[in-house]
Structure 1
Amino acid sequence: MSFTSRSPLRRRGLAAAGTAAVLALTLAACGASKDPSDASSMPGMHHGSASSPSASATGTPGMDHDSMPGMDHGGSGDGLADAKDGYRLTSDVDQLPADKAGGYRFRITGPNGKPVTGFAVDQTKRMHFYAIRSDLTGFQHLHPTMAGDGTWTAPLSPQKPGSWRMFASFTPDSGPGRGKGLVLSRTVTVPGESKRSPLPAATTSTEVDGYTVRVKGAPMAGMAHPLTVSVSKGGKPVTDLQPYLDTYAHLTAFHEGDQAFAHLHPETEVNGDHGGPNLSFHAELPKPGNWRMFLQFRTDGTLHTAALTLRVG
């Protein structure tokens, strides 16, 4: 039978089937047009902060109002590599003198192999630099200066003998990595007799400079989880925390054994010198085990650093 000789009933059936197929395709297209931003709407899941662009490496630091509080600004990964996404942390320094202050010089090179000189502002700084000994002692959080050729110098305090890891946390403001937070690291040796300090047992509270810091929450590896930090003094809640790096507290964590890096910020909105006593975080720590937490906060112009060990399941 030819196509033109089909019965009216057969033709009506074919038309209905065609209409159904078109409807199915339309529905599928509508489903595919869902806003892609929904994929990153879960708190604590976005690892690359959007930072404000810099005009130059030596410009006046600004405030990063676009970054979401509670996020990990260290980029995806654990910070243990010296290269990621075409960016590399390079340095000629393999050793540093023991018990002596000095400068650690380094560069960030881009996918084209040339030194990067344009960095976005994140928490009022274009570069955050961390030094930690292999036993998770000697924590230093610094903000190095950059020369015109892209060489950064971090002014390290005296370090004890042993193996140290140097972390550079930054966001390029141009090129293929623009707007993406990255953390790269290298190790250096401080010569001399090295005595490893045992990691303090996991706890929910610690004291520093007369302040008591308590942590409430039970983070699970690889999952965003609420974490609350409270600060008190003499048994009374502290309500005069001052802004530090555009927030009321700066929280850095390192994993026992491999020194994996994590960086978290409180969700609490900054409102003058009235921070505390409670600071809320969305913590996402990538690995189970013990993490050494370093909480930095400011009162009366003085910066305090509290350290405690947190167990992550």
Structure 2
Amino acid sequence: MKKRMTMIAGALTFTLLLAGCGSTEEANQMGSHGTNHTQGESHAGHNPAQTAPADNLKASFTFATGSAKAKEETEVHVQISDQNGTPVNEFEINHEKLLHLIMVSDDLSSFSHIHPEFKGDGKFAVQTSFPSGGKYKMFADFKPAGGSGTTLSEWMNVEGTAAERTAITPDAKLIKEVDGKEIELSLSNAKANEEVTLTYEIRDGITKNGIQDLEPYLGAVGHVVILSADAEQYLHVHPLDEKASGPKAQFATSFPHSGIYKIWGQFQHKGKVITVPFVVEVK
């Protein structure tokens, strides 16, 4: 995971296996402990000998055909460049991937975490689809060579019939059943600007026995992505103990502001990625 990979367009071509990790509605994060990525906050560089603030890097998101239609396959392009428009070609592997692409609908009901292939000349590309028409926010989560984790985002429009909007309201109970698993979330506190430990307990949905053989997902027991209700605050959190295998998985983070947040936890068991969403209120 810590291995550094240098990508130089025109010299070397690396083909990564495309990993679609949940591109259906509600099926439905990430920095290590202490390195949560709040959008626009991280610092990164594109030259091993020189680092630059994240605001000196840009990401442009486009559709290969110029537009995208709901429920149809489309190719998404992510172009990473510096403030002068020069393509960035050197990246470090971050949890087994060069770039994590998070896509959410504007009401946060649709969540997708996928991994585009690096095509060279600063460009990443991936085939995906959107469950309905409307606005989606795209988050490119990556680590330039010599820099730290960076997240850049942009709103995009998808053609087609929009789904009925889902209200973003706090869950009365932080326990859900997903794919035959009973997953319970507890927070050590729910206060802004204080360290909080998120503890997931994953049990068999029928026997209620704790699952102790979780498999590594992107090199860790799990990953957590957190968004504020307006999708302006983004956190991607890695577990405290990456080698844990259940039934508990713990993550440490802090919420930058009070308000409503949606939390997606992702785990893998018997070859299948489980994505479970919760909504909490932070005081």
- Tell me the TM-score normalised to structure 1 length: 0.73
Aligned to 1:251: 224
Aligned to 2:37: 74
Aligned to 2:255: 285
Q: Tell me which stretches of 4 or more aligned residues in structure 1 moved more than 6 Å.
A: none
- 1:45-84 aligned at under 5 Å gives the runs 52-56=3-7, 58-59=13-14, 69-74=32-37, 77=40, 84=54
1:276-301 alpha-carbon deviations (Å, 9 max, x no partner): 01111112121222211111111111
Query: 1:257 Cα shift?
Result: 2.4
Q: Give the distance between the partners of 1:290 and 1:51, measured in 2 at CA.
A: 34
Q: Give the distance between the partners of 1:68 and 1:196, measured in 2 at CA.
A: 31
**Aligned with 1:242 (options 212, 215, 235):** 215
Contact 2:62-2:76 within 8 A present in 1 as well: no
- 1:270-281 aligned at under 5 Å gives the runs 270=243, 275-281=245-251
Q: Give the distance between the partners of 1:76 and 1:209, measured in 2 at CA.
A: 31
Query: 1:214 Cα shift?
Result: 1.0
**How many residue pairs get matched?**
249
- 1:80-95 aligned at under 5 Å gives the runs 84-93=54-63, 95=67
Q: Give the distance between the partners of 1:311 and 1:78, measured in 2 at CA.
A: 23
Q: Give the distance between the partners of 2:32 and 2:130, measured in 1 at CA.
A: 33
Aligned CA distance change for structure 1 residues 73 and 127 (closer, same or farther; 3 Å): farther
Query: 1:92 Cα shift?
Result: 4.0
Contact 2:226-2:264 within 8 A present in 1 as well: yes
Query: 1:221 Cα shift?
Result: 1.5
Deviates more, 1:191-200 or 1:233-242: 191-200
Q: Give the distance between the partners of 2:131 and 2:35, measured in 1 at CA.
A: 27
Aligned to 2:202: 231
Q: Give the distance between the partners of 2:231 and 2:104, measured in 1 at CA.
A: 11
- Which is richer in helix? 1
Query: 1:199 Cα shift?
Result: 2.3
Amino acid at match of 1:107: Q
**Aligned with 2:141 (options 156, 163, 169):** 169
Residues 1:185 and 2:153 aligned together: yes
- Which is richer in strand? 2
Query: 1:136 Cα shift?
Result: 0.2
Contact 1:78-1:261 within 8 A present in 2 as well: no
Aligned residues: CA RMSD = 2.5
Aligned to 2:120: 148
Q: Give the distance between the partners of 1:269 and 1:169, measured in 2 at CA.
A: 19
SS of 2:5 mapped into structure 1: coil
Ranges in structure 2 where 5+ consecutive residues have no aligned partner:
17-29, 43-52
Residues 1:312 and 2:282 aligned together: yes
Larger Rg: 1
Q: Give the distance between the partners of 1:256 and 1:125, measured in 2 at CA.
A: 27
Contact 2:39-2:152 within 8 A present in 1 as well: no
Contact 2:229-2:262 within 8 A present in 1 as well: yes
Identity of aligned residues (%): 25
Aligned CA distance change for structure 1 residues 198 and 241 (closer, same or farther; 3 Å): same
SS of 1:252 mapped into structure 2: strand
Aligned to 1:120: 92
Contact 2:41-2:54 within 8 A present in 1 as well: no
Aligned CA distance change for structure 1 residues 280 and 242 (closer, same or farther; 3 Å): same
